[in-house]
Every structure is written in C-alpha cells, then in structure tokens.
Chain A
C-alpha cells in the first residue's frame, strides 16, 4: 500500500528500506472502560494483533480503568478469552507469545468520576514506567459510554495526567518527579470514541472541555471509517492518478451516490440507538467523511493539517438546511417487520429494548450540494438504513452520458452512463463500468465492469481499521482523525436537519419493511431529479 502519510524524517538509520517505517516510542495505553464491549471486541484484539505483527513498541503497557472490581490477573484472563474469540491471531496458537503480551496488562478499579481513582492511576502509571520503561508517554483511550467523557477529561486534567508541563502539585507531584524531568519530551494523547456529542451544542461543549485540558494536537477524535484501507485509497486513487483530476468535476460528473446499507437491526445497542438514530449514528460522521474525501481539493501535502484543511473546506461548503429545505432534501424511515436473508425479523418497535412508540429513524437519505466551483449543481445523494436487504457500503460516481447516440438502433436513453464505484465493504475494491459492443454483426451495446479488488490484487486481507488508527495515534499522526472544526461543521449540518424534524409533523412510522431498500419517499427524493438509486 502506498504510504499515505508523510512520516517525519527517519531518524533511526536502521529503519531505512524496511516496510514498517518506524514503531512508536515506548508508551502506556490507558483504556477507560476496558471491561466494555468495544474494548473487548475491537481494541484489545487490535492491540494483540499489533503485538504479534511487531507493531507495538518494545516497552509498552496497557492499563485498564473501569468500575468492575477485578485484579490484574482476572483482567488478563478476561482479555485472553475475548482476544481468542475476536482476534485473527489467537492466544491459543502461541501461548508463550500471549504470556509475553499479557505481562503488559494492568488494571485500575475506580468510578470514572472519583478523584481518588485518578490518583491511583497516576501511581500505577509511575510503577509501570519503572517496571516496563514506558518513558512517561501516555495514550488515553475513552472507550466508555459518552456521558463519562466529560468527567474523565476533567479528572485527567486535575490529576496532572494530561500534560507533563501542566503538572499540578498534589497528586501530579509524585508522578512528575518520576520519569518526567525538566527536559521531558514525553507526550500525552487522548482518543475520543464516537458519538462525539449529540448535536452542535453538545459537540461544542465537549470540544471546550477537551480544550481546557488538552491541546488540539493531543486530541484524536476517532472515526474508524477513516482507518479502512479503501477509504484511504480514495485519496491515493484520486491524487496518485493523473487521469481523474480533469474529469472530477461538475463538467463530467452527473451525480454521486453514497450508500451505507446494513442488514442488521440495532442488536444489543438498543439503548444507545434509540436515543441516536440513523442520522447521528452514521450520516453525520462516517458518511460525511466519505463525502469530504470524494469531493475535497488536492491537499498541499499529505500531512494532518493540510488534508484536514481541505476536508473542512468541503464541509464549510455544504450549507446547513432551512426547515423548508429539509423537507425537500432529507427523508427518514423506520423499519417494520419483514424478512432478511429469507428469515422473518421483527420491526424496530418490536426489537428488544425499543419503546413500542419509538419515533427514532433507522433510515435516512438526503440530497446535498457542495457550493464551490468544482461541485456547484452536482447532487450528492446519501442513504443509510438498517435492515436493508444486504450489507454494503459504496461510493458511486456517475458520469454524464455520451452526448450523442451515434450507433444505429440505439438511442441516448439506451446508453448507460459510465460509472465508477468505490466499494468500501464487504469486498473492498474499485470498479468501472463502461459500454462495450456485443459480439455480432449488429451494433448492440452492453455495460461491462472492470474490477479491481483489494483482496485479489494484493493477496492480503486489509488490516483492521483500529490497528491502523491506534498505530497512527502512537506515532502522533492525526491525518486520519477528525479535527475540531470538522466535527463542528458536520454537526452544524446534522443539527439543522434534527431541528427541522422536531418542528415538522411526526412521520408515519414504520414506513419500510425490513429487507426492503427503504421507504418509497426515498425513491421519490431521487426520482424527482430524473435519477434512481443504484440497485445493489
């Protein structure tokens, strides 16, 4: 894979020519909410896979922080079970390697809102620095329910754990006398999981709380979509190939469709999902990120600030809607009973943990315009829903059709427009559709596909997004993380929709059957423009 990012000058002379440019400095990774689902399904397997692939520094430690009263040993046993279940490298395959990894796992038991717990954490980190030579570097990972982000951030600040130079006398003192000296170059970084707020006001409030304790360079707002190889490949595809740039604009592109379809329902996330909904859960963050990558101008350099400057410019050019515009451009839906893959499934309101009168949307589709010179007048259609017939994520760029029906017995209507599709999941790849002549004496046309698939062409399965993102954070590269202004601009747009929905009469839910491609109003939305959703 093309190295996307500008790594700083290789200071280790032995690294030159090696595929892995560098591994991170020694560090301790503190996972808040280590006993939770995300940590067990994603983070810890990712960390173990990194360890097996030599991606963790030689001196590392993982310190869990959560409420459950368990010991270091119990934590290690629990983590072992989860890694066995969810990781591609299994502890049982190489018990000695697991044992070596598990020695670096520690636990601190505390409520997230208890100052004493952070004192214990500071002491534990000091021990770990001595035992494991982690050099005072810290990566904090907020993997808790979102209501705990604020107390965690505030307590880290108060305990002097956020910044070595801001150490406060009191509980920070013991710590700063340890590994931290006046010439200290150690770092502190914090990864904040989604959801990042639930509207513009709460996102701004969270940003302010973070900014009181951390500098923007220390803050890594994770969007795991950006860790996916194909998502990163959008940038390589666009900016490492000269042929796309001239046609990547309103002159040649008719419209863009971004689809994130899920066949699953809310599963075990009922509590969270019913208060969030499809717009907050998917469109506001992941899909807007996909939109920015497709639409952004070439950045001045492949480094964090330049890339994010261009993304923010796109988000600024997507104007928030008025109430009337929302009615014209955005539709929502909720699934009723139906069938998925031939099996009957209940409706959203019948799902476990969902109120029977819930008005939460499980489907959202919208038409967005980017008001800049490149994209003026080109609609971007975004749709996302749960309980759709299959799981697929793709970006389809539809070019304008050939201007003239040149061939006998064909008409312009019969000419299919060229289509470029970036497949994000399940099969990561890129395909191009163009017209070709069917063999025979007469001119008959047929659309054919030219396909490129990641798994085939490189013979490897792309690495997990979390592995990539945790590595980037340890290396201090924030290109694939969302910056403060991006988050707030995305919320500005989403909030304009949420507010309009609140003011408008309640929709009739459910309005689509599980296993269908969404409500008919979504078809109306695009068909009004003389276009149709892609059949997937």
Chain B
C-alpha cells in the first residue's frame, strides 16, 4: 500500500515545474532535458534538498476520453510517482473537436518520499488531438516510449479492443490495464478478453498481458476467503462447498447491473478449486419474481459428483463502483436438504466504513465471528499494485478463462462439434478443460 503525501504539486514536498510546456513531438526529449535542468536548479535554490533523483522504471500510457478526465487520472499517477516513477504519456482525444491537431506538452512531476530524503521525479508528456487526428496519435506516442522498459497501457474507461488507437499500440505494449467496472457490456467484453488470452497463450510468444482494476478490487475478498482455509482443520471443507452466494452492489449512477467483479470472483474460485462449469452454466433468475430489480445470475458447476451453485445476487446497496462486491457466503449444505448447512463461511461489509465481518459457523463448534479492517482501494492503490507485475498474472488469466466460459456457454461434448452461443461466437473450451484436469488440488 502506498502512502500519499500530497494531492497537488504546489507544496513544500515537491518542486513546481510550472504548467506543462507546449512542444512539438520531435522536440519532446530536448525540452525534457531543459526541464530536468530547471528542476535540479530549483532543488539547489531551495537548499536542504541537495539533489533530485531522476527515475523511470516503466512507460505508462494513459488513454482518457477527455482532457478533464486525463487530469483526474494523472492525479492518481502522481500519487504513485514515489513507488513507480514512470515516463507517463497521457493521450486525450477530444471527440467534440474534430479539427484539433496533435499537440504535446511536457512537464516533470516530483514527489518527496514519506520518510524524507531525496525527491523522486518523473516525466509526463501529454498528447492530445481531435477526432480527426486519432490516426496520427500512435505515430506520435510510439517514439516517445523509453527503450527497454516495460510499457503499460491504462485504459480506465470502456473496452479498448475495437479501438483504432489500441490496435495500433498493441504490439508496443507489455501490459494492458482495463477496468471492467466501466465496461458498457461487461459479460460480453470479459468473454472477448478471455478468448483473446486463450488465443494468445496458444501462440509461441504470448506477449500482451491483460489485467483489470476489478481484479485488484477483489484481492481483499480473495485474501479473506483464502484465510478461512489456511488452518488444516478447516481445509477439508473446501471439498464440501456446494453453494456460493456473491452479493454485488448496483451503481449509484443507474447503469445496468455490472456482474464483472462477481464473475471474476466466481471464476477464481472455480479455477483454483477445479470446479467445472456444466450446462446450463449461466442462467438469469429473478428471485421472488421481482421485476423491478436486475436479475440474479445462477452458475452451475461440478466437481466430481458434487454439484455447486454460485449465485450472483444484486444487493440493495448502491456503490460508486458498479458491481462492487458487498458480501460472499460459502456453504457446505447438509445431506438432508431441510437441515441447516454443515458449515458456513461468510464475509460481509459492515456498516462501519472500511470494516467487514467474517464468520465461521460449523455444526457442533462455537461460531467464530470477527470484525476486520477492509479498506476500499482507490485508483492509485489499484494502479500501484498492478504496476508491480511486469508479466502475465496467471491466476487472473485462469479466473478470467472460467468467467469467459460462464458468459460464453458451456463446454460442448466432443461429438457435438462446434456450437454457437446466442451471440454467435463459436465455443471452444478444449484448452480450458485441459488445464482444469491439472489444476485440481488435494
């Protein structure tokens, strides 16, 4: 986790490099050299601070919808300069101004480490253009990337996959960071992402690694769920779970239900525990026939003879983040369907901010209930965590692969041949099945 020391560059902990300096693309590097000189002089003039540390450990391209949005995201990036000093190339395309040519500005952002000492400075380049200039932007961005350093693309809103800019940049990227909380069609885009990853992993050199801010948001849930089963005495219950309920919040802003987080969490459980999706794998149901609310999704899986149901249920709560998980319950049901469950493991956000209740209730044992801290990670924290990983996140990719199966349809029998889902996409889950056979743990 990172500590933030300032929100803005005009205070004692940073050096003011002034407003971004406009510059033509081919002059960016020369202008940056000049700025570094200014920064070093400013640092000397301040006294005390004897030197600034120029550091660039990665390239980070940001693609935002507008200049206003760019500034918001840049504030998040600034907060992690200390831990991930990067050459930032922020791209803003203004869809309303078709005639705006490609323009660039440069600036240097410095951050004082929380423990004192030397400040860390990094370069920021802003590239913007109107909708007509989109085709020139990739050619402006690619030469600006520092050689031999990993290239991240942060695409905080919407799906990049059909975007011209993304397709042009794709070969230059190592890692793509999207946010499925902001997808227009989360199920469809997750399915598409999982297909891309599967196709890429079939190639000899899988290059572009994808990740999702929503995956970072469920890390805290994954940790608490995993913790239930760290003790050897409770681990056997992992092999008895047959019902999982995941509650997710609806958006405050009234967009349709976004099940992306819940699907990723379900995909993670299934991929780690070797649960196989079986037909009908994904059904929308309205509990109690209430048509005023979005439907719940019921996922059907199997592990050996055991049937497992995962219910993704919209909660009554609203959140700024569409589809943010509110609670998770794992149950091992009794043989007698009327009896109470043999074991229940539950985590739910408590009413107090940043806290959650976790409880373990097992027949014949004293129930355990704990109140724990559970901080909601913001953009800067999520970005900080994602930038630590330079390559493929296998656990995420396996979770996404199963989430993709949920939303695409189930595995066909070999004899049935290729089948089409309602979206017309062919289903081929052979690779998925092959992996599952090895993933089962003791």
Binding site for B on A (CB under 8 A): 11-18, 20, 22-26, 51-54, 57-59, 89, 94, 96-97, 99-100, 130-133, 135, 185, 427, 451, 453-461
Contacts and interface: CB of A to CB of B under 8 A. Distances in A.
A456 B372 CA distance: 29
Contacts of B83: 457-460
Given A17-B395, A52-B373, A97-B373, A453 B113 contact: yes
Interface string B110-123: 00011111101000
A236 B83 CA distance: 20
B219 interface: yes
A54 B223 contact: yes
A58 B441 contact: no
B31 to A, nearest CB: 23
B223 A133 contact: no
Given A94-B373, A132-B368, A25 B2 contact: no
B273 A460 contact: no
Interface stretch (B147-155, B283-291, B358-366, B420-428): B358-366
A59 B371 CA distance: 12
A192 to B, nearest CB: 26
18 contacts: A11-B442, A12-B235, A13-B238, A13-B441, A25-B230, A26-B233, A54-B224, A58-B228, A94-B352, A94-B355, A94-B373, A131-B366, A185-B232, A427-B116, A455-B114, A455-B116, A460-B2, A461-B3
Interface of B: 1-3, 53, 80, 82-83, 113-118, 120, 219, 222-233, 235, 238, 269, 272-273, 350, 352, 354-355, 358, 360, 365-366, 368-373, 384, 393-396, 441-442
B272 A14 contact: yes
Contacts of B1: 460
Contacts of B442: 11
A92 to B, nearest CB: 13
A477 to B, nearest CB: 15
Nearest to A20: B223
**Lowest 9 A-B CB distances belong to which pairs?**
A455-B115, A459-B83, A17-B395, A100-B371, A14-B226, A456-B113, A13-B441, A459-B2, A23-B230
Contacts of B227: 23, 54, 57-58
Contacts of B369: 100
A132 to B, nearest CB: 7
Contact of A59 (B117, B231, B395): B231
A96 B395 contact: no
B37 to A, nearest CB: 14
B114 A459 contact: yes
Nearest to A24: B230
B396 to A, nearest CB: 8
Contacts of B365: 133
Contacts of B354: 94
Contacts of B358: 58
A16 B117 contact: no
A177 B365 CA distance: 17
B2 A26 contact: no
A373 B323 CA distance: 63
Given A58-B358, A459-B113, A133 B368 contact: yes
Contacts of B231: 25-26, 57-59, 135
A11 B235 CA distance: 9
B308 to A, nearest CB: 15
A456 B368 contact: no
A13 B273 contact: yes
A451 B115 CA distance: 14
B115 A456 contact: yes
A12 B117 CA distance: 41
Contact of A54 (B113, B352, B372): B372
Contacts of B113: 453, 455-456, 459
A427 B372 contact: no
Interface centre among B231, B273, B352 (most CB of A within 10 A): B231
Interface centre among B82, B118, B219 (most CB of A within 10 A): B82
B83 to A, nearest CB: 3
A99 B371 contact: yes
Nearest to A130: B366
Contacts of A89: 373
A451 B372 CA distance: 38
A426 to B, nearest CB: 9
A56 to B, nearest CB: 9
A45 B238 CA distance: 33
B225 A58 contact: no
B117 A456 contact: yes
Given A54-B223, A59-B231, A455-B115, A97 B368 contact: no
A450 B430 CA distance: 53
Contact of B370 (A22, A23, A58, A454): A58
Contacts of A455: 113-117
A24 B369 CA distance: 17
B73 to A, nearest CB: 19
B201 to A, nearest CB: 17
A491 B114 CA distance: 40
Given A14-B222, A54-B227, A455-B115, 10 more contacts: A14-B229, A17-B394, A18-B226, A58-B227, A96-B352, A96-B371, A97-B371, A451-B117, A451-B118, A454-B115
Given A26-B231, A97-B355, A427-B115, A15 B226 contact: yes
Nearest to A458: B83
Contact of A12 (B115, B226, B394, B396): B226
A461 B1 CA distance: 10
A181 to B, nearest CB: 12
Interface centre among A22, A25, A454, A460 (most CB of B within 10 A): A460
Contacts of B352: 94, 96
A88 B354 CA distance: 17
A58 B226 contact: no
Contacts of B222: 14, 18
Contact of A459 (B82, B229, B395): B82
Contacts of B395: 16-17
A463 B183 CA distance: 38
B115 A461 contact: yes
B202 to A, nearest CB: 22
Contacts of A130: 366
Nearest to B80: A459
A97 B372 contact: yes
A96 B357 CA distance: 10
B13 to A, nearest CB: 13
Contacts of B116: 427, 455
Contacts of A26: 231, 233
Contact of B118 (A13, A100, A456, A458): A456
